[in-house]
A and B are shown apart, each in its own frame.
Chain A
Amino acid sequence: MTEITRRSFSLLAGASLGTLCTPLFAPSVLGQAKPRLVVIGGGPGGATVARYVAKESAGAVDVTLIEPLKNFTTCFFSNLYVGGFRDIKSLRHNYDKVRKGGINVVPVMASSVDRDKKLVWLAGGSRVPYDRLVIAPGIDLKWDSVPGYSEAAAQIMPHAWKPGAQTELLVKKLNALKDGDLIVMVTPPNPFRCPPGPYERASMFAHVLKKKGYKKSKIIIIDPKPAFSKQAVFMEGWEKHYPGMIEWQDPKMHGGIKGVDPKTGEVKTDLSTYKAKLANVIPAQMAGKIARDAGLADQSGFCPIDPESMKSKIDANIFVVGDAAIPGDMPKSAFSANSQAKVAAMIIRAELTKSRAFPARYSNTCWSLIAPDDDIKIGASYEPGEGKIKQSTGFVSQKGEAADIRKQNYKESVDWYNGIVADIFG
């Protein structure tokens, strides 16, 4: 068993965990040199907390980020890769600048949390003690929420709702389609990561088919929800750019999702069976496993938090940010996670270094591309209220907007991407 501290991490960087066999015990909280923050998950929520605590505390807090991936591929903007607007490499970001910010980046999977002893156990048996812990594992998929679907089935019917290999598989299948082939999307119930995402993805599918000159292919969206984010402007855009190509079905239209069969490519609803050449099945979602195993999730599968701090309602030493949290009125998005992380970082510093605390405030904007230079957006500000993170004001793109506004939206979204990844990864 090995306990990882700042001192031992320099060893870890050049050695496997198995080679570290001497327990190195960090001093206890009382009288220790520095308070310890440990962050599980190096995405938009976790990496942002780590960077902001490290930067703002100027070395007064020992910050460790546990993230097994060498390169993080952003889920946000991955639809633009699907549509051929970006290269997959442009979505990948490493942790070099995070390390340069004085953060111990531990490239190992966190396997469990011992809340009583305030330890994170790593794959391989090492452990990392903490004074405050941030859990930002993102989502896990509820495979059985769609009958017939499974982790194995995802190799045939990709979900591509976690970034990386799944997204590349989806694009490979999309690019192999012939004119007349059918795409069927099964979209998730609320709450789920990136509410406008499935509908932007349908737009990108249609864009690729249109660009190839396909006239006979169709995209059918089987939706368990009666409505979706930015619906009016999406549907207007579909009719404008891809007339007759995208068919959205709500539960009244399909009667319920009965299941999928990866062997035949069939997607069955109560009223029809579709034989899809490309089935994109996005199942229901829940908080990442480590958060659920730590007992931080409620019956919803996500983690309740205090809206004033992003602190878990179940453990006062743990903060949950990003898609794993129950964010009240906020959507699950990278922007939201980044925003929540800054509130958590501010509170963590106040608790660990007695720095000043301020009232929490949050914000979010989500951009979605319908077609080249036709980009729509939705956004809002949020504050604690009524026991949750409550929306205080907001906006959404309107039908019939001028083309130059939509074009400007797209440019703005690209600039936003550059801004937020710099904020997250340095």
Chain B
Amino acid sequence: MQKGAGRVLVTLRCALACGCLVEAMCDGLTAYSADAELGRYLSTECMTCHGASKADSTIPNIFGLGETHFVGVIRAYRDKTLPNPVMQTIASRLKDEEIAALALYFQTAKKPK
């Protein structure tokens, strides 16, 4: 990672699980130095579908999502233990550090108005 990239240490905890499945996916503590700038760039891919999500959308709102929850869900899509081929395809190429960077970004990002 480059100097000045807004690196933040993110500890991926599994306390806020979105279900047993996701909890199992991130069993054990893993630490990554999440790259905020990378997360912001990668998030542009998510914006195509998630930028206008509402409460009843099939495409969920991911802004403000807790990092642990986010990491668990994306890993579950990557491992194909959660259904939906669109998300499985998106997640399939994400490395752990990229998922951590995205989680860091979306944890504080505000949905566009």
Contacts and interface: CB of A to CB of B under 8 A. Distances in A.
B9 to A, nearest CB: 20
Contacts of B89: 363, 365, 379-381, 393-395
A345 B40 CA distance: 13
A415 B49 contact: yes
A358 B50 CA distance: 22
A332 B90 CA distance: 19
Given A356-B5, A393-B93, A419-B49, 4 more contacts: A358-B41, A361-B45, A379-B85, A381-B92
B86 A377 contact: yes
Given A358-B41, A415-B49, A419-B52, A365 B86 contact: yes
A422 interface: yes
B45 A342 contact: yes
Contacts of B42: 358
29 contacts: A52-B44, A342-B45, A356-B5, A358-B42, A361-B45, A365-B86, A365-B89, A377-B85, A377-B86, A379-B85, A381-B89, A381-B93, A393-B89, A394-B89, A395-B86, A408-B58, A411-B58, A415-B52, A415-B53, A415-B57, A415-B59, A418-B52, A418-B57, A419-B50, A419-B53, A420-B49, A422-B51, A423-B47, A426-B112
A422 B52 contact: yes
B1 to A, nearest CB: 10
Interface in A342-359: 342, 345-346, 356, 358
Interface string A95-111: 00000000000000000
B58 A412 contact: yes
Interface in A367-421: 377, 379-381, 383, 392-395, 408, 411-412, 415-416, 418-421
Contacts of B88: 395
A335 interface: yes
A360 to B, nearest CB: 10
A338 B58 contact: no
B51 A419 contact: yes
A363 B5 contact: no
Contacts, number: 80
Interface string A256-287: 00000000000000000000000000000000
A84 to B, nearest CB: 22
Interface of A: 52, 56, 335, 338-339, 342, 345-346, 356, 358, 361, 363, 365, 377, 379-381, 383, 392-395, 408, 411-412, 415-416, 418-423, 426
A127 to B, nearest CB: 31
B38 interface: yes
Contacts of A342: 44-45
Interface string B1-21: 010010000000000000000
Contacts of A365: 86, 89
A358 to B, nearest CB: 5
Contacts of A408: 58
Range class of the B interface residue count: 20 to 34
Interface of B is mostly: helix
B37 interface: yes
A361 B37 CA distance: 15
B92 A412 contact: no
Contacts of B92: 381, 393
Contacts of A393: 89, 92-93
A405 to B, nearest CB: 9
Contacts of B47: 419, 423
A5 to B, nearest CB: 28
Nearest to B37: A356
Contacts of B40: 56
Nearest to B43: A342
A411 B47 CA distance: 18
A95 to B, nearest CB: 16
Contacts of B86: 365, 377, 379, 395, 412
Interface string B72-113: 000000000000011011101100000000000000000010
Q: Which of B5, B50, B85 has the most CB of A within 10 A?
A: B85
Contacts of A363: 45, 48, 89-90
A416 B44 contact: no
Sorted nearest first, the 7 A-B pairs with minimum C-beta distance are A395-B85, A422-B52, A342-B44, A415-B59, A418-B52, A419-B49, A411-B58
A38 B98 CA distance: 32
A384 to B, nearest CB: 13
B41 A346 contact: yes
Nearest to A417: B52
A231 B92 CA distance: 25
Nearest to A44: B48
A103 to B, nearest CB: 15
Interface in B17-42: 37-38, 40-42
B93 A361 contact: yes
A358 B48 CA distance: 18
